[in-house]
Structure 1
């Protein structure tokens, strides 16, 4: 049996930290992973509050890395002992989204996970895995497409962030927006993913990068990762006038998951520019835009689910950027914690006190 953090009901503010949870045995096309590190992401909190759907009881966590423990009979690309990153949106390779080259939109395995328990509790009852994963556990079983092999010299706490925060942020820049060198970029929200967007804009060669966050304590951190300027919501018009002559930014990234933040991003963007929606918002949080402006301003609204990433292609790229000293992963980790600290980590996440907390398993 293994330790796992279980959410019994949507709306609970405390997780049940148990030591009697067992991951199901892998089927022919599945892999069991022994987790070594997992991130504490805002999407985990969104699952607790019901913004993102789940089937309770559910083991939370979707951003992780570990060692392959077992493989099914049909699995050939990894074997026991391999180090892997967890891919929380594994691509089936056969659905319309996969066939048109958008594996990040594949919902085949995620849809299955709502009715397919991945864990058993000590009393024999079933438990499900968040997004088909459940990385807040010492072991879990996922489809073979749900693991990406990495080199053994990549620290597990770095590899964990390659499973969500970095692909979502950096991918939004290089895959979705395709930011051009010399561009003016604004990033609304300077949390963990927002900082990954800022790094991506710097790597892409943006000449101006404005980080927008009401929490001024995040401003020095944003500058450390590449922001050339910072602003609160009250200072946006002044910053827009100063940095773009009032025209607006070429690319504006919304990394909050709120309709108000999307509206802010829209207003910061120049005519003909791109608004990139990165944050995961609630189903009933509606954005209102003028039909006149939608046409005559010529702005493009682009969704960036999972940064438009194909992790098979992009994880090696991110590792190369890290090796070259261009991608700072260590700086994104504000706190390394133990499993028993998870409820405190959720509180810190809720109160905006951390960038990225990472659980290290023994």
Structure 2
């Protein structure tokens, strides 16, 4: 076994704890990665809040970057390689993977919070701990399958690489891949956390015309302006659907990046006939919304679900990294406060309160 390392763990009935965990050596098709930076995401918060019920102890964290330290048989990476970890490790064999839609893989086991063999590499005091979304990146070292590790240039800052593992790839992909926004089209983005701000970047990258960013936080609205929003609105004081109809005649696209059923219900009233409402934020499991079915049919409006920005991580993550390194995506400005693992609860408190930009934890 490798040396023990601290880890941020969700304990059912107890909440967040910091525990020492041991990590086994990589097996065939696996590699060991030393974590250098991990982003604090709403998906982790869903676990803590009970929105996504879980009855096993989980090592949290699912967007991260680090350095390969060891590889098992059959792995075409080497110790010293810099990698971004992808939380949705595709199987590469199912019909969705074969059709080029790895984000819809039906063979992945990551969503079961296990490695591909159904097991875990983590133990603590003789107890098995399970990797959230197959990664468990809020710790110093992880074992992941080859399909979860994407090699990137060593010049890429680890904090930026971490955000490529989830928030950036999801947000940029929502605009570019899922919605396939065309130059000059109009869009509104509800929620300017990490994913929402990345969506704004993706819209500017796609050449969108008017881009409206909505958030309760003045700090986040200001960030949205830096990233390309042409209009910002305070969702607490502005009737956003009415504004969109009055000033835009309805947007071509409306993106919800919060995961709020109440806000998702409002999306169709923000768009024009033929427009698309894009659900990007992850709501609680089982959440239901009410929509006007006649309006959708009569006006040809569409509802698009967006999982991981409709991205193939092995292709899209290196492309986004190259865009950052070329100065075309200011991803470093998405990084908020960097904290040690011991301050994970504070990072989650700030995320829940909507304070700051994307928080980062470092071992």
Q: Structure 1 residues 53-62 or 40-49, which shifts more?
A: 53-62
Q: How far apart in 2 are the matches of 1:291 and 1:303?
A: 17
Query: Which residue is equivalent to 1:172?
Result: 174
What is residue 240 of structure 1 aligned with on the other side? 244
Matches of 2:121 and 2:133 in 1, distance apart?
A: 11
State the 1:209 CA deviation. 0.4
For residues 339 and 52 of structure 1, what CA distance do their matches in structure 2 show?
A: 22
Distance 1:332 1:111, change over 3 A: closer
Q: Which residue number in structure 1 is paired with residue 255 of structure 2?
A: 253
Where does residue 305 of structure 2 map in the other structure? 303
Q: How many residues align?
A: 354
- Separation in 2 of the partners of 1:72 and 1:55? 30
CA shift, 1:74, in A, is 1.4
**Residue in 1 that maps onto 2:51:** 51
Please state how far the C-alpha of 1:56 moved relative to its aligned partner. 2.0
Deviation at 1:116, TM superposition (A): 2.0
Point out the more displaced range, 27-36 or 52-61.
Answer: 52-61
Superposition deviation, residue 349 in structure 1: 1.1
CA RMSD of aligned residues (A): 1.6
Matched, 1:71 2:71: yes
Within a 5 Å distance, the mapping from 1:36-115 to structure 2 comes to 36-76=36-76, 78-107=77-106, 108-111=108-111, 113-114=113-114, 115=118
Asked if the contact 1:92–1:106 (Cα under 8 Å) also holds between the matched residues in 2, the reply is: yes
Alpha-carbon distance in 2 for matches of 1:145, 1:55:
27
| Number of the residue aligned with 2:145 | 143
The residue that corresponds to 1:2 in the other structure is 5
Structure 1 gaps, min length 5 = none
Which residue number corresponds to residue 156 of structure 1? 158
Q: Distance in 1 between the 2:241 and 2:264 partners?
A: 16
- Once the two structures are TM-superposed, the CA of residue 54 in structure 1 deviates from its matched residue by 4.0
Structure 2 unaligned spans of 5+: none
Match of 1:225 among 223, 227, 250: 227
Q: How far is the alpha carbon of 1:109 from its aligned partner?
A: 2.4
- CA contact 2:188–2:254 (8 Å) conserved in 1: yes
State the shift of 1:258 in Å: 1.3
- Which residue matches 2:122? 119
CA contact (8 A) 1:39 1:64 kept: yes
Residue aligned with 2:109, SS: helix
The CA deviation string for residues 184-212 of structure 1, in whole angstroms up to 9 with x for no partner, is 11001111110000011111111100011
- Other-structure match for 1:215: 217
The answer (yes or no) to whether the contact 2:242–2:270 under 8 Å persists in 1 is no
TM-score normalised per structure 2: 0.93
